[in-house]
Amino acid sequence: MPTRGRAWMRDELILALDLYFQKGRNPGGEAAQQLSETLRAIPVESWRTDDPKFRSPQSVTYKLQNFVALDPSLATGGFSHGGKGDAEVWEEFSSDPERLHKVALSIRDNLGSLTASEAEESEESITEAPEGQVLTRMHRKRERSASLRKAKKETVQKATGRLACEACDMDFSERYGTRAKGFIECHHIVPLHTLKPGQRTRLEDLALLCSNCHRVLHLRKPWLSVDELKQLINTPA
């Protein structure tokens, strides 16, 4: 994975594109300064903030010029040497500025909710969501809450008498016997752009999934919903 010294991470590009749509190609010194401070507060490779040139207001202004070159509403201008990440974020979010702004606000809101180790954690089975690394890690942090998992499983067990995957209906104890009794994973179904620090996760915000279904759901962008995963399972190959 490229370091922040070599390439802007997706979260940073989302924040920069939101500024572009909010303020235009020349946002002004105060707006560039504010975004610079936000980018430097992202808890990933935070040691880089010792360098005053890292994500400086000037670098923010330069980055916006890459979006100018991608903007079909503008005939000329901008820097045409933007990276792959710039084009991907433009492709994913430029047609829906309202969603883009919601994602940007959620990234900002959650910056202080992750430690550096939590923000930088990597899992081979989980593809980073389109909304970026910060919100992906917040999503996983909520899925891993031991107290929530326990309460969700107890509620479902009491209501249905079993712990079955909500996508494929597989019950570990039925498949593997007593050794796997009570085992199943929790998936947080709330849209990432709605995540707020301190927001209480309700039991209905969680879905029970077997390990395979949970991994497939997170396998690539965009992540599937549980209903989309069900449809995939039930559609003949």
What's the Cα-to-Cα distance from 223 to each of 17, 191, 213, 217, rounded to whole Å? Answer: 22, 10, 12, 6
Residue 216: C-alpha distances to residues 64, 143, 149, 153, 182 (Å): 35, 16, 20, 21, 21
> What gap in Å lies between CA 186 and CA 116, rounded to an integer?
24
Residue 211 banded pLDDT, cuts 50, 70, 90 = very high
- Provide φ and ψ at 164, rounded to 5°: -110, 145
Q: Could you tell me the pLDDT band of residue 115, with boundaries at 50, 70 and 90?
A: confident
pLDDT at residue number 116: 87
**What is the mean pLDDT of the segment spanning 174-181?**
94
Q: Tokens 């997706």 identify what position?
A: 10
Q: Judge whether residue 1 has pLDDT over 60.
A: no
Report the mean per-residue pLDDT for the chain: 92
> In the prediction, which pLDDT does 73 show?
85
Task: Tell me the pLDDT band of 5, cut-offs 50, 70 and 90.
Answer: confident
Q: Please give the single-letter amino acid code of residue 88.
A: E
pLDDT tens-digit profile of 40-94? 999 999 899 899 999 999 999 999 999 998 998 876 665 666 789 999 999 999 9
For residue range 25-36, list pLDDT tens digits in order.
888 899 999 999
22 close to 101: Cβ distance less than 8 angstroms: yes
- Span 217-233, pLDDT tens digits: 999 989 999 999 999 99
Whole-structure pTM value: 0.89
Res. 106: pLDDT tops 80: yes
